[in-house]
Structure 1
Amino acid sequence: MKKVLVPLAAGFEELEAVTIIDLLRRANISVTVAGLADGAITGSRGTRILPDEILDTSSASDYDMIVLPGGLPGADNLNNDSRIHDLLKQMANDGRYIAAICAAPKVLATAGLLKNKEVTSFPGALSDVATEGMHHTGMNTVIDGNVITSRGPGTAMDFSLELIQLLAGTGTRQKVEQGLQR
């Protein structure tokens, strides 16, 4: 069974986080929600989610993919946590999937993982990050090697379906999509 880590920080974007978690679980992908601290994490709109564990107990080698939800100040809080950067770099070095949506691609850029990559993000989220060779496409979802990025809350469902296709194949994606009545 494929395993995905979804770290949550205070101020995460609820629509993105819940869509990612829900759709991956519908595809029978094991999802671990890890908080940066103990206890419930409050999103940018006040929704509280109780993580499965604290990030300290997470190990990069246990997961096939890490997915960073965006939102503000959630993406900034992820970006300011050295554990996130360590996990991202370790997973990238191991060739595992790294995914981020909305403002969270900035975390990937800060960790040095977007060099010579095609990416997308929420408009303006990467404007203050200088990354050699990074090309911002403006597309809804971009897959470049092991890096997957997406624009924001409105693209969360399609982003999640792309993640399912990468991890579980086209048939599983179609089955989940059919169940959504799209």
Structure 2
Amino acid sequence: MCHVGRVGSVRAKEDDMTAKRSLEGRRIAALAADGFEKAELVIPLRALERAGAEVHVVSLHRGRIRGLNLHLPAGRVRVDKTITHADPAEYDGLLLPGGFISPDLLRQSADARAFVRAFAVSGRPVVTLCHGPWVLASAGLLEGRTLTSWPGIRDDVVHAGATWRDQEVVRDGNLTTSRGPQDMAAFLPAMLDAFAETSPRPEPASRGGRSDPQRDSPPRTAVTALRRTPKPSAVAVVVIGLLAAARHGRRGPAPRG
């Protein structure tokens, strides 16, 4: 699971980064669904817009999509285009944020898988982090690639044919990946570089090598955040009970024997 810890210092660095990387005239698609990790969409989106890029949030339905802070509800983000009305050819690059719910929903959408493939086939930049590579795996795009991700999906990435690295950022051709919000300070400049193409696309020195081992324990930041989760309020419990009672009432009494 993704955690938003250690991103407080990121905002102070954004202006300096964007001043050095102009994305004027670039159009970026940000593919996300309900359950996206808030920091992984909102912070990169802000950095892209400050650099001059036009960013469209593309999703499975119209209106707004709900973000999460780990597993707690966060704010909503407006959807600019649905996946059925977005043309990949209109965009210069793809941002695929994580969270553990949004990528799971997207990987089950044939339209979303096709949307992602269009960028990969054309060689345009694909930038993703956390659980985002789940979508790439389901789209059949990880065979022979080298990348990183949230450590918890390391085995999924490896089983999809990729080499997994336990690093802040990994760049393999047109694919740039990061582990999660804890690496946001390294991820943002790598993302801007990828979309601006201000640096060459290096081939990883370890292409085809062995993957880094799976970790022995979950990231401490995620475990700590879950342990500090506030208990449900009494009001929330009452509301849930009333909703359950209302649903039972609509079904009517059970038939008599």
Counterpart mapping for 1:38-53 below 5 A: 38-44=62-68, 45-53=73-81
- The one-letter amino acid paired with 2:177 is T
Q: Which of 113, 127, 152 matches 1:99?
A: 127
- Shift in Å at residue 131 of structure 1? 2.1
- Aligned pair 1:32/2:56, yes or no? yes
1:160 to partner: Cα distance: 2.4
Alignment RMSD: 1.7
Match for 1:150 among 169, 175, 178?
A: 178
- Which residue matches 1:12? 36
Give 1:115's aligned residue.
143
2:86 is the counterpart of 1:58: yes
Matched, 1:131 2:154: no
Looking at both structures, which has the greater relative contact order when contacts are Cα pairs under 8 Å and sequence separation is at least 6? Answer: 1
Cα pair 2:37 2:98 within 8 Å, conserved: yes
Structure 2 distance, partners of 1:16, 1:131, is 23
Larger Rg: 2
**TM value normalised by structure 2:** 0.62
Structure 1 residues not aligned, in runs of 5+: 172-182
Structure 1 segments of 4+ aligned residues over 3 angstroms from their partners:
none
Residue by residue, what CA displacement relative to the aligned partner does 1:9-54 show, whole Å, maximum 9, x if unpaired? 0100000100110001111011111121011101123311112222
Distance change in 2, residues 1:68/1:156 (3 Å):
same
Identity of aligned residues (%): 32
Render the CA deviation track for 1:101-121: whole Å, top value 9, x for unaligned. Answer: 101112112211111111100
